[in-house]
């Protein structure tokens, strides 16, 4: 099976590296306007796979994406000094118009996996431009935020984060909503379990974890300039669910008919992901404050997406 990646920068290459190490696909094709960069990333990854998997990583052009099951789009432009967020979105929409047309020409049956930020708005734009069904245009959404939430909860509880079930909803960004009220570890609700373990979730602990999830990217960017390992692994996880039809529950972003009273908006919810993309949504039980926060997040994303000329 083939997976394509358009955009061979840090996020695209980290996703390729994670997929190669996991051995979840037989072939990865990296496409980038900077052909030398795509070649260099593919060669570097190729030198790692003999230790762990038989995956073939190579550079190519759009035509080489033919028969790809999934194409990750990690292409985009950076913000210029003095440029507004809306102007940046408009320029990235123009990039996506060209990229998506070329991808679908080569691989019309591929599922598109959007990684470019702001990922929810870009997922909505990609859905409009592609004309594909919403369940086949998937944004990485809050898969990384949910992983951060579970990591910090697991660290506090003294257990593996894989045993913690907690989701971040809404925007991958400042308005995201941490689902405290439905978080669980094993088969037990979070708060009673924390008390059982002698590690209660106090207001200070909750504030610390919320801040750690919400501001993780800023901390990492301040230290090393950008984030890529976490999202690279998250993208690989989504691809594995699609290629193996695993029907995993992952917090990803797609255009959704209605969420918290807001219509036609791309944001993250827990969703079942399999070979045809998103198969179903799972809206968790939320308390009043979380429902209101999700409405605010959805409203912000809807306003941003509607303001971008396509």
Active site residues: 172
Q: How far apart are CA 18 and CA 216, in angstroms?
A: 21
Q: How far apart are CA 163 and CA 151, in angstroms?
A: 10
What is the distance of C-alpha 226 from the center of its chain? 15
Q: How far apart are CA 63 and CA 86, in angstroms?
A: 32
Please count the other Cβ atoms lying within 10 Å of the Cβ belonging to residue 191: 14
Q: Which residue has the tokens 């290459």?
A: 13
Determine phi and psi for 157, rounding to 5 degrees.
-80, -15
235 closest CA partner among 34, 10, 1, 33: 10
């Amino acid at each position: 099976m083939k997976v394509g990646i358009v955009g061979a920068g840090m996020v695209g290459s980290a996703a390729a590296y994670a997929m190669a190490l996991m051995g979840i696909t037989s072939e990865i094709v990296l496409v980038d306007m900077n052909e030398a960069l795509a070649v260099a990333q593919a060669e570097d990854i190729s030198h790692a796979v003999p230790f762990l998997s038989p995956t073939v990583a190579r550079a190519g052009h759009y035509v080489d994406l033919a028969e790809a099951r999934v194409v990750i789009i990690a292409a985009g432009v950076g913000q210029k000094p003095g440029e507004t967020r809306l102007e940046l979105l408009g320029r990235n929409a123009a990039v996506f118009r060209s990229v998506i047309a070329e991808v679908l020409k080569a691989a019309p049956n591929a599922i598109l996996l959007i990684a470019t930020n702001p990922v929810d708005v870009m997922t909505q734009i990609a859905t409009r431009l592609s004309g594909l069904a919403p369940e086949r245009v998937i944004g990485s959404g809050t898969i990384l935020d949910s992983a951060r939430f579970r990591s910090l909860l697991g660290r506090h509880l003294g257990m593996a984060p894989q045993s913690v079930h907690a989701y971040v909803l809404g925007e991958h960004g400042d308005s995201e909503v941490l689902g405290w009220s439905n978080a669980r570890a094993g088969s037990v609700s979070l708060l009673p379990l924390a008390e059982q373990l002698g590690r209660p979730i106090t207001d200070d602990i909750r504030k610390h974890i919320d801040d750690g999830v919400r501001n993780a990217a800023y901390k990492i960017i301040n230290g090393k300039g950008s984030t890529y390992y976490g999202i690279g692994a998250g993208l690989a996880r989504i691809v594995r669910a699609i290629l193996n039809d695993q029907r995993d529950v992952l917090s990803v972003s797609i255009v959704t008919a209605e969420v918290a009273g807001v219509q036609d908006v791309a944001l993250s919810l827990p969703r079942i992901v399999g070979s045809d993309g998103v198969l179903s949504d799972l809206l968790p039980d939320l308390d009043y404050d979380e429902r209101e926060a999700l409405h605010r997040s959805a409203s912000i994303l809807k306003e941003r997406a509607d303001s971008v000329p396509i």
